[in-house]
Structure 1
Amino acid sequence: MLSSAQMPGLFRVADRRAIVAQRRHTRVTIAQLSMLWVAVLAGVATQVTGNGSFGFVGVGAYIVLVTVRVYGRISHHEAIWYDNRQLAESLRSLVWRYAVGGAPFPVDRGEEADHEYSARVTQLLDDMTYAPVPEGPTDVQLITPEMRASRARSLDERRTAYGRERVLEQLQWYAARAKADGFRGARLDVLFLAASAAAVFFGLLQAFGVLGINLLGLFAVVAASFYTWQSQRRYGKQAATYAAAANQLTLVHTALGRAHTEQAWAELVDAAESGIAREHTSWRVARAQP
């Protein structure tokens, strides 16, 4: 009933900006970790071969690492990603509330609902530091014809579309992400433990004079890289949050058929969107933590 192309242009601009900023932030993180690995490997190569030229490679890697780090700080990719993702998802929730007659925009409020919807979008933008810039005349349209057409449909039609295209779709997305992120988090934990065990093993060999190469430092950096990536992606926390959201939406999907009046329907949509909003808030808070 409401695809991304049928939503306000502001949503699409914020969504695209969030995707681009996330990709850039991820690339900056990967580049920093890669340069750290190159620097440590250059140090090991110097020990093994006795060739001091590898030292220049290590120095160059550290210079690139610092440069990328500074670029990441001044470009604000992470903050732009968070702000625009939060805006896109909050706006998507408002759009669905309006389009199906959910609170605070029940179908009997008429133009008053339009004014309330516009005020809430304005509030979202006021709370942003890195607000998206409209890219064309259609991007400033807050209520699309498709949203109005959806709002004009019968309660049964709105209930069916909302259950299939919003609740069920979100439920499946959260369930899939909970499973995937849980697996990724567990895999990174195993890799971290393996690298840490290797660091301890080679450190003991070096301490007892059995090994003259500093492999302890190498595997310590590898372990730190896995830990850093886990801290950046927060797979474990996200898996738990996504699972909770999926369970909440399962209850909502079960209750859809029990809303037989406009008032009951408006309250049910409000409960569903509030549950989704809690996941967005948890994601934003978790990302803001060091």
Structure 2
Amino acid sequence: MNLTYPSLYKVADVASLSAQKLHLRLTVVHACLLILGTAMAVKSLPTKEYSLLVALVFFAALGLSIFLGVKKYEKNWYNGRAVAESIKTSTWRYSMRAAPFENAESVHTIKSEFRNLLNSILRTNRELGDYIGEHQDTNDQITSEMDQVRALSVEERKGYYLTYRIDEQRMWYTTKAAYNKRMQRIWFSAVVIAQALAIACVLARIAYPDWSYWPTDTLVLIASFCISWTQLKKFNELSSAYSLTAQEIGIIRGQSEEVITEEQLSEFVNNAELAFSREHTQWVARQDT
């Protein structure tokens, strides 16, 4: 039985993924327009129509740049991810009876505290409200699966947490670390190739001065885009961070052998959730600097 997350998590998750896809796709389109315009301007045809076409390409790139600045998809992407991860970690704390959702005389008190936490997360991220409003979900905020897991014994909850949270997250971070490392190499190679071709064009111009079509500027622009894309996706930074987090999760998992009581399980879960949420918190903080 996989844990079903609150409705607010699903909405924030979908909103973040939607904003991410739009931002990245439009960024690529913007770069392609600039590269196309630069390539067309290398060897202009002596006609007004061609010059107008080149101008239209650059106008489209300018318009898209303004559109991206106004819509702020990147900010919605990061904030939506932060909200989703905050809700996810709180959901696991609730389901594991970890602080601040330990056992109480009435489960209704705990449910009220969890709902208050969701309201607090929403109030803290009011600017995301309009974008989240485009992605509706009418399911429960406290799901039946959350209560079913919460009703398990200490040993059963520990086993469930190790399987569906610890091991799953460790695999996710390990896979993502390898992926980002591979992508860093690919895009670094692209930068080197584009710059090498640009240098080759400059040197070839010396040998063939009569040839007027040298796409040096286009190649430089392609290299610049590759560098910008690497900085946007933060492949190298994420690869290192994810690798360290995966190792930290492995260390935390070993501590589960000492977990026997409710208090020990609560401390164990909170330590693990702190490790999971740290990377997302730092990610959002880096975008605000």
TM-score where L is the length of structure 1: 0.90
CA contact (8 A) 2:174 2:246 kept: yes
Query: Structure 1: how far apart are the matches of 2:24 and 2:81?
Result: 15
Gap change, CA 1:130 and 1:116, over 3 Å in 2 = same
Deviation string, structure 1 residues 65-108 (Cα, Å, up to 9, x no partner) = 11111111222211111111111111011001110122222235
Gap change, CA 1:109 and 1:204, over 3 Å in 2 = farther
For structure 1, the residue ranges without an aligned partner over 5 or more in a row are none
2:90 to 86, 91, 94: 94
Query: Structure 1: how far apart are the matches of 2:94 and 2:226?
Result: 43
Map of 1:283 onto structure 2: 283
Deviation string, structure 1 residues 232-289 (Cα, Å, up to 9, x no partner) = 1111111111111111111122222220111111000000000011111122123345
Map of 1:119 onto structure 2: 116
**Higher RCO (CA-CA < 8 Å; seq separation 6+):** 2
Map of 1:229 onto structure 2: 229
Aligned-partner residue type, residue 85 of structure 2: E
CA contact (8 A) 2:43 2:213 kept: no
The SS at the match of 1:153 is: coil
Deviation string, structure 1 residues 187-213 (Cα, Å, up to 9, x no partner) = 111211221122223224436763533
CA contact (8 A) 1:41 1:218 kept: yes
Aligned-partner residue type, residue 58 of structure 1: V
Residue 65 in structure 1 maps to residue 61 in structure 2:
yes
Aligned length: 283
The SS at the match of 1:82 is: helix
Query: Structure 1: how far apart are the matches of 2:169 and 2:137?
Result: 29
Query: Structure 2: how far apart are the matches of 1:55 and 1:288?
Result: 40
2:21 to 2, 10, 23: 23
Deviation string, structure 1 residues 210-234 (Cα, Å, up to 9, x no partner) = 3533422111111011011111111
Give runs of aligned pairs for residues 54-203 of structure 1, distance below 5 A.
54-108=50-104, 110-111=106-107, 112-128=109-125, 129-131=127-129, 132-133=132-133, 135-138=136-139, 141-203=140-202
Calculate the aligned-residue CA RMSD, in Å.
2.1
Identity %: 22
Query: Structure 2: how far apart are the matches of 1:96 and 1:109?
Result: 20
Query: Structure 1: how far apart are the matches of 2:220 and 2:199?
Result: 9
Aligned-partner residue type, residue 194 of structure 2: A
1:42 to 37, 40, 43: 40
Aligned-partner residue type, residue 126 of structure 1: R
TM-score where L is the length of structure 2: 0.90
Gap change, CA 1:177 and 1:9, over 3 Å in 2 = same
Query: Structure 2: how far apart are the matches of 1:52 and 1:207?
Result: 31
Residue 253 in structure 1 maps to residue 249 in structure 2:
no
Query: Structure 2: how far apart are the matches of 1:41 and 1:125?
Result: 47
Query: Structure 1: how far apart are the matches of 2:242 and 2:221?
Result: 31
The SS at the match of 1:142 is: coil
CA contact (8 A) 1:171 1:246 kept: yes
